[in-house]
Structure 1
Amino acid sequence: MSMTDVLKAEDIKKAVEAFTAAESFDYKKFFEMVGLKNKSQEEVQKVFRIIDKDQSGFIEEEELKFILQGFLPSSRDLSDKETKALMAVGDKDGDGKIGMDEFATMVAEL
């Protein structure tokens, strides 16, 4: 499964291009631009599973660093600062990883 099975390719491309500059990533704007805000719970779960590269049921910090590449393979890595900021927002229970429910909460907060 790829992101274009859930989201529109042109929306993904525009969103990734909007955050090509280092230290520019804003997850709320990005998720809104790719169209996650208007997706069903099932579709949000599909996106989560794509980002969860090792299929552990969690998005760990290493996977989070490459989150943009889950949407568009040629995208940049997030900086350490961006990755840590995103983890801090998403990791509601403080276990060092983002579960599916935590990811759904991030999307719902848009």
Structure 2
Amino acid sequence: MAMQELLKAEDIKKALDAFQVAESFDHKKFFELVGLKAMTAENVKKVFKVLDVDESGFIEEEELKFVLKGFSKDGRDLSDKETKAFLSAADKDGDGKIGIDGERERQGSSFHSQWPLY
């Protein structure tokens, strides 16, 4: 599933444009701009699955670095500093990865309930 099937293309472009400059990424503002904040938990899970490139059920630091490219091929890579700050905010149990839900929640932080979208 492509991100454009879940989110409006104009919202994705607006969000990516807002954070083109290195060290400017703000995950809360980005998710608000793309419309993720208003999505149902089920659709947030679909977004998670698009971003979970290796299909491990987790978004690890290396995947997080390329998170903007998950929204559009034109997205930039996050800097190491931005990636670490994002992971630190989202990884509530300190295991270095962000999980999605249910069974996996016991193995890692929950994407929907713990990734600070709100």
Which among 90, 96, 112 is matched to residue 104 of structure 1? 112
Is residue 37 of structure 2 the alignment partner of residue 37 of structure 1? yes
- Counterpart of 2:113, as a letter, is T
TM-score (norm 1): 0.95
Deviation beyond 6 Å, 4+ runs, structure 1: none
Q: How far apart are residue 105 of structure 1 and its match?
A: 2.3
Percent of aligned pairs with the same amino acid: 63
How many residues in Structure 1 have an aligned counterpart in Structure 2?
110
**So what's the TM-score if we normalise by structure 2?**
0.89
Cross-structure match for 1:18: 18
- The answer to whether the 8 Å contact 2:31/2:117 transfers is no
Q: Which runs of 5+ in 1 are unaligned?
A: none
Compare the two structures and name the one with the higher helix fraction: 1
RMSD: 1.2
Partners of 2:91 and 2:115 within 8 A in 1: no
